[in-house]
Amino acid sequence: MDNIENLATRFQERIDAGEKIEPKDWMPEKYRKTHIRQISQHAHSEIVGMLPEGNWITRAPSLKRKLGLLAKVQDEAGHGLYLYSAAETLGISRDEMTQQLLTGKAKYSSIFNYPTLTWADIGAIGWLVDGAAIINQVMLTRTSFGPYARAMVRICKEESFHQRQGYEIMLTLCNGTPEQKEMAQDALNRTWWPALMMFGPRDEDSPNTKQSMAWKIKRKTNDELRQQFVDITVPQAEFLGLKMPDPEIKWNEERGHYDFGAIDWDEFWQVVKGNGPCNKERIAARQKAWDDGQWVRDAALAYSAKKSENEEKSNGIKAQRSEGKIA
Amino acid sequence: MSNKKEWPLFEIFIRSKNGLEHRHAGSLHAADPTMALENARDVYTRRQEGVSIWVVESKDIHASNPEQAGELFEPAKDKVYRHPTFYELPIELKHI
Ligand SMILES: [Fe+2]
Ligand SMILES: [Fe+2]
């Protein structure tokens, strides 16, 4: 029999050699737990993330925008599903994950605890929030756990439409009336800092980073991803003719990156702890969906039980007939 | 925690176009195979990714054990004579 240390060493060697880990392979308990936590929270983010945008579907300014937004929000439901399925391969049930979300045991991305006050927020979310998510998710297509990596490949294929539809909304507003452009600027102002926080705490405040990098769960640190996002986004804001809501943003020739100002981490932790503007509303909406859906889940199960019962009965009759027992 | 039964899990296989095999696309919960097919259509073929769907209840799939991967698959490792390159023929020979 192998002892745990040998297994752990061999596991690390497989990771170092770039092998993927599949659900039934031996893995350290912490690797399994970290993945259940990370993948389920990622799934919750996709699902809760539908709420702020869903808020504008009925009020989209044109049929084209409504179709685009509807398709995007539907995609996010699919992303949640891919991710829940990936987490389930590690031995947690879907219902258990749902309960963890509803009881607050599991978190989701804090960005979705901010309200969507104007139509421009839908543009800013697609551009910045999906933009930040893409940077994280592209990295995760190379993560070491097979089902997670495969879910990410599928998700990344769908995400680029999300970001483009968001940017196009911003572009249209910025080419519109002064009021429309102002609305776009206001949405950028409110979304920018929370979007930067999406990458998580600074590397020095992120004690799990080292282990996650060693296990190739993450391939880049929070700060590396955040910098990548800033570098990509600043020129896109310039193209829109919008002002970044951070006076410290400046190209740093020496570093080859944009410098940017300090993030308000107190705000970040407040929102994580449940005190953001919409935390309660979001969970209440999910709880209501769960409660209101109970009869549907029950009815579908009852229907399928009855159907297979009927099939068994008619198969029984057919068998008896062919045996000549009944006419 | 609700004690209600969860819908069973189905594995979804999609044929992306005729001439190609069905490939595993992912999994989803559904009350029965009909619903699994309908949901698979909505989840996995929203952008014309498929022309045919198979659904199989996950519990009906029998899988090899990764711990036995060595004994199962390693015997094929040293059988180089199963590959064409094992047989050395003169270079001027054509069509073989
Ligand atoms: Fe998504
Ligand atoms: Fe998205």
Expressed as residue numbers, the domain containing B74 is: 9-86
Distance between Cα A76 and ligand 2 center (Å): 6
Q: Report which of A139, A115, A116 is spatially closest to residue A225, judged by C-alpha positions.
A: A139
Å between B75 CA and nearest CA of chain A: 20
Contact residues on chain B for A153, CB-CB shorter than 8 A: none
Q: How many domains does chain B have?
A: 1
Nearest by CB: A81 against B1, B28, B35: B28
| Inter-chain contacts counted by CB atoms under 8 A, chains A and B | 56
To the question of pTM greater than 0.90 for the whole model, the response is yes
Name the residue in chain A with its Cα closest to that of B67: A25
DSSP B23-85: EEEEEEE-SSHHHHHHHHHHHH-TTS--SEEEEEEGGG-----GGGHHHHHGGGTT-GGGSGG
Contact residues on chain A for B65, CB-CB shorter than 8 A: 24
Task: Find which of B16, B28, B37, B65 to mutate to test the A interface (most A CBs within 10 Å of its CB).
Answer: B28
Residue B96 placed within a domain = no
DSSP A273: I
pLDDT at B4: 64
A119-170 pLDDT tens trace: 999 999 999 999 999 999 999 999 999 999 999 999 999 998 999 999 999 9
Beta bridge partner(s), residue B27 = B11
Å between A7 CA and nearest CA of chain B: 12
Residue B23 placed within a domain = yes
pLDDT at B66: 87
User: What would the mean pLDDT of A3-23 be, rounded to a whole number?
Assistant: 93
Classified as helix, coil or strand, B91 is coil
Q: Residue A60 carries which side chain, given as an amino acid letter?
A: A
Residue B43 placed within a domain = yes
User: What would the mean pLDDT of A169-189 be, rounded to a whole number?
Assistant: 98
With cut-offs at 50, 70 and 90, classify the pLDDT of residue A1.
low
pLDDT at B31: 96
Give CA–CA dist A45/B80, Å, rounded. Answer: 49
A27-56 pLDDT tens trace: 999 999 999 999 999 999 999 999 999 999
pLDDT for A261 beyond 60: yes
Residue B22 placed within a domain = yes
A283-305 pLDDT tens trace: 999 999 999 999 999 999 999 99
Please say whether the beta carbons of A218 and A212 come within 8 A.
yes
Distance between Cα A76 and ligand 1 center (Å): 5
With cut-offs at 50, 70 and 90, classify the pLDDT of residue B95.
confident
Asked if B61 reaches chain A (Cβ–Cβ under 8 Å), the answer is no
Q: Residue A232 carries which side chain, given as an amino acid letter?
A: I
User: What would the mean pLDDT of A181-207 be, rounded to a whole number?
Assistant: 96
Phi, psi of A103 (to 5 degrees): -90, -5
Contact residues on chain A for B43, CB-CB shorter than 8 A: 78, 81
pLDDT at A4: 83
Residue B42 placed within a domain = yes
Nearest by CB: A85 against B2, B26, B67: B26
pLDDT at B1: 41
DSSP B20: S
Task: Find which of B43, B61, B72 to mutate to test the A interface (most A CBs within 10 Å of its CB).
Answer: B43
ipTM of this complex > 0.85?
yes
Task: Find which of A100, A153, A157, A297 to mutate to test the B interface (most B CBs within 10 Å of its CB).
Answer: A297
State whether A94 and B29 contact (CB < 8 Å).
yes
Å between A242 CA and nearest CA of chain B: 34
Q: Report which of A126, A129, A116, A125 is spatially closest to residue A59, judged by C-alpha positions.
A: A116
Residue B4 placed within a domain = no
B26: left (phi over 0), alpha (psi -120 to 50) or beta: left
pLDDT at B2: 46
Contact residues on chain B for A308, CB-CB shorter than 8 A: 32
SS3 readout for A164-200: HHHHHHHHHHHCCCHHHHHHHHHHHHHHHHHHHHCCC
Token pair for residue A171? Answer: 């572009």
Name the residue in chain A with its Cα closest to that of B68: A25
State whether A85 and B4 contact (CB < 8 Å).
no
Contact residues on chain A for B66, CB-CB shorter than 8 A: 22, 24-26
Considering only A114-123, A141-150, A218-227, B60-69, which range has the smallest mean pLDDT? B60-69
Place of tokens 């190209």: A251
User: What would the mean pLDDT of A242-248 be, rounded to a whole number?
Assistant: 98
Please say whether the beta carbons of A174 and A241 come within 8 A.
yes
Residue B95 placed within a domain = no
State whether A300 and B35 contact (CB < 8 Å).
yes
Contact residues on chain A for B9, CB-CB shorter than 8 A: 85, 88
Distance between Cα A14 and ligand 2 center (Å): 32
pLDDT for A326 beyond 80: no
The CATH number of whichever domain residue B66 belongs to comes to 3.10.20.520
pLDDT for A64 beyond 90: yes
Distance between Cα A193 and ligand 2 center (Å): 19
State whether B66 and A304 contact (CB < 8 Å).
no
State whether B6 and A74 contact (CB < 8 Å).
no
Residue B75 placed within a domain = yes
